[in-house]
């Protein structure tokens, strides 16, 4: 048996930590569909909910919790584990647009207050 590569060993270790996939991870929830349709067209992700419905569902769930949402977006946009494959470019652009929208939206709310 050939020696395992570092990448293969790391992935095997990570599999033990990752939560098991659930059926609902592959489907957009009703709340997520409503959240997406209520979002401005220039910001609304299109590729993300199709390719990664679990992430879209989680963004929807966290949308009203500023701190948790910021932290989650940060984990999606910044590779802190090293060597991750990353998202397709269009999904990365959509995540960055959501991050920018969130920052701008919250800044406008702060100015109004």
| pLDDT 10s digits, 40-78 | 998 999 999 999 999 999 999 999 999 999 999 999 998
Say if 1 falls within a structural domain: no
User: According to the model, what pLDDT value does residue 25 have?
Assistant: 76
- The answer to whether the pTM exceeds 0.75 is no
Residue-number span of the structural domain to which 103 is assigned: 6-112
Say if 89 falls within a structural domain: yes
Name the domain count of the chain.
Answer: 1
Determine the Cα–Cα distance for residues 65 and 45; give it in Å rounded to an integer. Answer: 19
Written as six digits, the tokens of 98 are 């959501």
Cα–Cα–Cα angle for 11, 15, 16, rounded to 5 degrees: 125
Distance in Å from the first CA to the final CA of the chain: 65
Determine the Cα–Cα distance for residues 100 and 1; give it in Å rounded to an integer. Answer: 49
- Cβ-based neighbours of 16, under 8 Å, separated by 6 or more: none
| pLDDT 10s digits, 68-94 | 999 999 999 987 767 667 899 999 999
Q: Examine the pLDDT at 18 and tell me if it is beyond 50.
A: yes
Say if 108 falls within a structural domain: yes
């Amino acid at each position: 048996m050939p020696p395992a590569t570092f990448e293969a060993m790391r992935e095997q270790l990570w599999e033990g930590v990752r939560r098991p996939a659930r059926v609902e991870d592959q489907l957009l929830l009703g709340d997520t569909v409503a959240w997406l349709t209520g979002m401005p067209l220039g910001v609304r992700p299109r590729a993300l909910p199709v390719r990664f419905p679990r992430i879209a569902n989680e963004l929807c769930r966290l949308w009203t919790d500023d701190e948790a949402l910021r932290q989650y977006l940060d984990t999606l946009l910044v590779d802190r584990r090293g060597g991750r494959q990353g998202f397709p470019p269009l999904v990365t652009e959509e995540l960055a647009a959501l991050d920018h929208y969130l920052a701008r939206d919250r800044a406008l709310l702060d100015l109004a207050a």
